[in-house]
Amino acid sequence: MELASSAVKRVQLELGGKAPFIVLDDADLDAAIEGAVFGGLFNLGQDCVQASRFYIHESLYKKFIDGLVNKVEKLKLGDPLDRNTDLGPLVSKAQRDRIANYVRIGLEEGAKLATGGKIPDLPLPFSNGYFYQPTVFYDAEQYMRIAREEIFGPVLTVMPFRTDEEAIQKSNDTIYGLAASVWTRNIARAMKFAKELRFGSVWVNEHDIFLSEAPHGGYKQSGFGKDLSVFTLHDYTQIKNVYIDITGKARKPWYYWVSGE
């Protein structure tokens, strides 16, 4: 953006996020758990729209954690080219070190570790790869760094809420605004959340799904501009206004704005 400003060039910025994943008390819990595993661990969490903050209604909180942990602990790490593998390695040692540091921070801040949080013990040649166990924290607080900063890895942070208003407020309490999801069987509640969540993409009963005809892009410090869809072209379209007078009059009726006559 700074480089482009010298020549007033247009840019699109997609700068990451901290996506909330909201499960209301009337949600299909099984579907939400399946969606959480996919949305949170797709590409091992190295995804800008990764579901990383999980706000779960208190009536479903324990069941959701138990179900999520049960699914996560069955995932197989290994060769990403093997169809029996669920999760491959991280992109680099530096990224694995970053994730391990956030896990340490989460524990120090007082969040509870439900599963993961370690470098897995894998046989050669996988022991040379940058693998990290899928990690689930629970009973975290809104102020904690693991609940506020983009980790970009397989670290999922689960927190309870009581009211819809609380879930919306906590979800919007972030510098990011890229993506969010809400899980509910009630269309009216779904539409309320879709309207009030300040994110460029809001999914209902799904997370991390894209269509080529649907725009993708964020608000706030997640950037601006859209990729996908015709809106991408609009961002780079030069619009020109051409006015042609066809009255044939030397003095136009609206000139009185200047002359008063």
For the annotated catalytic residues, the residue numbers are 14, 48
pLDDT exceeds 70 at position 121:
yes
Residue 242: pLDDT band with limits 50, 70, 90: very high
Residues 87 and 129: beta-carbon distance below 8 Å? no
Show the CA angle centred on residue 64, arms to residues 110 and 122, nearest 5°: 70
Query: Coil, helix or strand for 45?
Result: helix
How large is the greatest C-alpha to C-alpha distance in the chain, in angstroms?
Answer: 91
Q: Tell me what pLDDT residue 2 has.
A: 92
Per-residue b or e along 145-159, where b marks 16 or more CB atoms closer than 10 Å to that residue's CB: ebbeebbbbbbbbbb
pTM value? 0.91
Task: Give the bridge partners for 179, in sequence order.
Answer: 201
Ordered by where they begin, the domains of the chain are: 13-232 (3.40.309.10)
pLDDT value at residue 261: 66
Among candidates 202, 154, 150, which has minimal Cα distance to 180? 202
At residue 25, the pLDDT reads 98
Looking at residue 212, the DSSP 8-state letter turns out to be T
pLDDT over 90 at 75, yes or no = yes
Is pLDDT at 245 greater than 70 in this prediction? yes
Residues above pLDDT 90, as percent of the chain: 84
Mean pLDDT of 134-151: 98
Look at residue 10 and tell me whether its pLDDT is greater than 90.
no
